[in-house]
Amino acid sequence: MNAGPQPVAGRNRKRLAWLGLVVVALALVEVGTRVRLAVDGRAWDSDGGRASAVQALAESRRRAPAGMATSAGAADPARSVLHPYFARDTLAHREALRRAVELDTGADAASGFDVVVLGGTEAARFAASDAQALLERLRVDPRLAGRTPRLWNEARGQFKQPQQVSVLAYVLASGVEPELVISLDGPGDIALCLDNGRAGSHPVYPARELWALRVGRPVDDPERLAALLAWRRAELQVERTARRQAGFFAVHSAFVGSLGASKLAREIELSRAALANVDAVGARSSGDFVVTGPKHPAADDAILRTAARAWFEGAFTNAGICRERDTAYVHVLLATPDAGAGGDTPVGRGFGLLHSALGRLATRGVAVVDGEQARRDGRARAEVLAERCFTELDAVAARAAKR
Amino acid sequence: MPAEPHSSASSAGAPSGPSARRGLGRKLALAVVATAVAIGLAEVGLRVVQRLRGQPYDASRVEQRLEALRASLSDGVPRTHEAGQDAAAKKPRAKAPNASQDLLHPYIGYDHSHFIAQLEEEIAYFRTERSKEVFDVFVFGGSVAGGFAVVANESFRKRLADDPRLGGRPVRVWVEGRAAQKEPQQTALLAYLLCCGAEPDAVIALDGFNEVAVGLQNVRAEISHLYPYLPAWLARAGGTERNREVLELALDLQERKRIALAKVERMLAWRVARSALSGEFGLASMERSARAVTDGFLVLQERLGADNGTDQLAPPPLAGTDEQHVDRCVRTWVAGARSLAGACRIRGITFLEVLQPTLHDTGSKPLDSREVERGNAIEAWTTGVHLGYPKLRAAGAELARSGVAFLDASMVFQAEAQPLYIDACHFNKAGYELLAAALAPALLDARERDEAASK
């Protein structure tokens, strides 16, 4: 067909007619939408449309995976914080170590005699009470040659090996060079390892309660990150649609506004589902593995063997670290009511293993105190410990002099 | 050939039908051939230009660089732990619950899921008779130590095993280096492994760089040099999730990393290095992607440092000048070496402290242009090395005088003109092999001295 050129006026009329038709159609759609909404009992409200879009935007910004909104918290000295090398610390301990570093690396470093106490709850109690008597004896002892004894309580509740080694290594790495290190532990190591092992955690991992509470969800978990990304994409889509909904056409047209509102509702649902997925993935993914650590047999005897080995190796490592620096080291195996139970209870059996380990430490030249023996002999723990500390200080001086 | 019937369209000059299709086919074929010839010419031209410039195209160089980029985009320590190990070690590894990833660890800040998952079977090995026969060497440190124990595993093992001083004992070299780790992490890791039941015969600490470079980097971000590598620690300790802006940056970084990693893996799978054209352009594109990751990482780090909430997760550094901060980093390194030495000496384990070589240590190696180009590092690293390495050498000599076995390997590349660095601190295979040649006799000398002292 050979279509010739149409007259310009005719073409414009045709275009105008089409335009008029589109406008009428849009108007009819708009009116139809308003009528349908009114019949459904949801009469179109332009202000309400804008308000709900703004609300959706605000809500979208408020939604967050569990834990994200946690505030940093007040600087309470007793506040427990996550520590990279021994799982948990307090701001008070952190501050005390800072003071120790300043004193031990400052001009008056030589005038002090630093005593570091390591261990768990019982050791922390000792540092707060019995240790004062020890400090008094040190203060008047000629071996100190006028130096002032300073006690650094590095024991923390629920600590067990290898946390005592980690604390000592960290204190030394900070620049503090103590003259005497005292470690008091044992029964807590056994009880906490048993708790861990029975709950499915590795016995050598920190006390489950202490560690599990402190461990956040790792943000670099690829599965969790993928879920986070999906949620963020959905959330951004909600934000984009909500912004459009607050725009001119969506507010003034029932047709555009109601279409947008349905879209926004769908996207909000998708965003909520994506957010729920983030928390679900966080709950089931690496979180548990981070808390439990490597696999370990669940039988009590296997746990007890591991606990006793960890206790021995931890004490032996601390002794080695101190010996390398000519620092006196005394290890106290604390007494426990379970000691009398012998093989009757798991803790009693574990304590028996620790007692054997204490013997091995002594044979290898580590200065030890048997708390149970001191109790049976009716002697005060502080008194026995003070004697052992002085013997060890003499032994260290003799070794140094020999070199 | 009979004439084709002509349509009205053909009369207007547009051919159609089989003849037109053949014409189109010929054109397409010509275009394909022309493109192929152009690519071929470009390939030859590029190779000629590179040769004339004195740097002929080297496919293995491009391949190695892509491998290095892939390693640094994953975690810096390649995972071929089984390489060269004895048969007992070749059992399938325990499976981590998720794909390869770094996780929060209670004693060393963070650890790779692979290491956590395989601990049980590694400890089981030490309960076997076989372990009594084998001379087990643990190599601690950062990613350079990890790379050394993987890349030079076979030659290092052979050098030790062939030495008559070991009396024919089989040797196993264990990868205990973790990317970006530094003292006191090495000490804490050894203590943890010993508590779990590990019984090494020898321990090597191959470190120094992270202590001064990453240590000062932490200080620049207003956290203590003693704490782990800042982004790794804060991301895992929960700081990232608490702050939406930080989370956005972390997500952006993760996305960049994912895209870059997928890209480099595609390039390696397609073996783009075989062609100079695809190799050079691919590598340039990959370098840009890697830089985008680094940029994202620096922005995140800056934001993490500025986050008040991080104060709960990492204490600020003590006040002081760069010189004083680096002095503290060196003191921490010395304290770590002495702690490791003490933990080993009391058990009769041979210990060797090794100061690793590093690119920005002036005078430690004649650098070629590619090493200079790739050796770009952030200011904290270069300052840390410039200020720290002379101090580390002096402190190492002091350690040796106090009885700790020490090898100053910082100058081991001093006479090597060949390229050995693949970035600011990691080496290629030749570099690791040179290090292995220096370490093996030093370790056995240390063992000999220990044996003489114990008699």
pLDDT value of position A72: 38
**How many contacts (CB atoms, under 8 Å) link A and B?**
214
**Which of A73, A320, A325 lies closest to B343 in CB terms?**
A320
How many whole angstroms separate alpha carbon B65 and alpha carbon B287? 9
The whole-number pLDDT of residue B408 equals 98
Among A72, A175, A364, whose Cβ lies nearest the Cβ of B312?
A: A72
* pLDDT tens-digit map of A286-309: 456 788 899 899 899 999 999 999
Strand pairing report for B135-141 and A112-119: unpaired
Taking contacts as CB-CB distances below 8 angstroms, the residues of chain B near A79 are 312
How many other CB atoms are there within 10 angstroms of residue A242's CB atom?
23
Scan for tokens 């790739």, then name that residue: B374
Residue A47 pLDDT = 75
Whether chain B has a CB inside 8 Å of the CB on A178: the answer is no
| Sign of the CA dihedral with B192 first, then B193, B194, and B195 last | positive
pLDDT at B206 over 60: yes
Which residues of chain A from 194 to 213 reach within 8 Å of chain B, CB to CB? 204-206, 211
Per-residue pLDDT band at B154 (split at 50, 70, 90): very high
Q: Is A310 on the interface with B (CB under 8 A)?
A: yes
H or E element in which residue B141 lies = strand B135-141
Residue with tokens 């032994």: A395
Q: Assess contact for A353 and A304: CB atoms under 8 A.
A: yes
Q: What is the pLDDT of residues B416-439, one digit of tens each?
A: 999 999 888 999 999 999 999 999
- Please state the φ and ψ torsions of residue A182, each to the nearest 5 degrees: -120, 130
The residue with tokens 């759609």 is: A29
- Identify the weakest region by mean pLDDT among A222-226, B35-39, B180-184, B344-348: A222-226
**Is B287 exposed, middle or buried, given 0-12, 13-18 or 19+ CB atoms closer than 10 A?**
middle
pLDDT at A56: 73
Helix segments in A178-221, DSSP class H? 187-198, 208-214
**Phi, psi angle pair for B185, to nearest 5°:** -65, -35
- Which residue(s) pair with B350 in the sheet? B202
| Average pLDDT for B236-255 | 70
- Alpha helices (H) along B99-207: 113-125, 129-133, 143-151, 153-162, 185-196
pLDDT of residue B112: 86
pLDDT at residue A129 in the model: 86
Inform me whether the pLDDT recorded for B12 exceeds 60.
Answer: no
* A200-253 tens-digit pLDDT: 889 999 998 778 765 744 445 667 677 877 888 888 888 888 888 877 777 778
Question: Could you say which of 3.90.1150.10, 3.40.50.300, 3.40.50.1110, 3.40.47.10 is the CATH number of the domain covering B63-237+316-454?
Answer: 3.40.50.1110
Q: What percent of chain A has pLDDT over 70?
A: 88
Separation in Å, CA B114 to CA A25, A173, A226, B81, B97: 65, 28, 20, 10, 10
List, for residues A157-176, the tens digit of each pLDDT value.
999 999 999 999 999 999 99
**Rounded average pLDDT over B31-41:** 92
Per residue in B308-349, pLDDT (tens digit) is 455 677 888 999 999 999 999 999 999 999 999 999 999 999
Q: Where are the domains of chain B?
A: 19-56, 63-237+316-454
pLDDT class for B77, splitting at 50, 70, 90? very low
Question: Residue B10 corresponds to which tokens in the numbers above?
Answer: 């053909």
- Is B97 close to A225, i.e. CB distance below 8 A? no
Answer whether residue A66 shows pLDDT above 60: no
Mean pLDDT of chain B: 86
What is the per-residue pLDDT for A130?
A: 85
What residue spans of B204-275 are helical by DSSP H? 209-220, 230-237, 239-242, 244-269
Indicate if ipTM > 0.85.
no
Name the band, by pLDDT with cuts 50, 70 and 90, for residue B129. Answer: very high
**pLDDT value at position B251?**
78
pLDDT of residue A248: 72
Q: Closest by alpha carbon to B119, among B189, B173, B169, B201?
A: B189
Candidate from A84, A217, A310 with C-beta closest to B233 = A84
Q: Is B251 on the interface with A (CB under 8 A)?
A: yes
For B24, other C-beta atoms within 10 Å of its C-beta total: 11
Quick one: pLDDT at residue A348? 87
Mutate to test the interface with B, among A168, A292, A321 (most CBs of B within 10 A): A321
Residue with the bigger pLDDT between A221 and A382: it is A382
Q: Testing the interface with B: which of A82, A311, A327, A364 to mutate, by most B Cβ within 10 A?
A: A82
Cα-based distances in Å from B187 to A95, A122, A290, B61, B347 = 23, 26, 21, 37, 15
Neighbours of B110 (CB within 10 A): 25
Give start and end residues of each alpha helix (H) in B53-111. Answer: 59-74
pLDDT tens-place string over residues B370-397? 899 888 888 999 999 999 999 999 999 9
What DSSP assignment string belongs to A81-94?
EEETTTEEEEHHHH
Is residue B413 classed exposed, middle or buried when 0-12, 13-18 and 19+ CB atoms within 10 A define those classes? buried
Residue A105 CB neighbour total at 10 angstroms: 16
Name the nearest CA neighbour of B227 among B339, B337, B310, B341: B310
Query: Collapsing DSSP states into helix, strand and coil, what is residue B377?
Result: coil
Which is it for strands A112-119 and A87-90: parallel, antiparallel or unpaired?
unpaired
Query: A215 in contact with B at a CB cutoff of 8 Å?
Result: yes
- Which tokens is A334 given? 């604390």
| Interchain contact, A289 vs B102, CB within 8 Å | no
Within 13 Å, how many C-alpha atoms sit on residue B382's CB side? 9
DSSP E strands in A179-321: the ranges are 180-185
CA distance, residue B381 to nearest chain A CA (Å): 20
**Beta-ladder partners of B172:** B136
Which has more pLDDT, A225 or B80?
A: A225
Closest-CA distance, B229 to chain A, in angstroms, reads 11
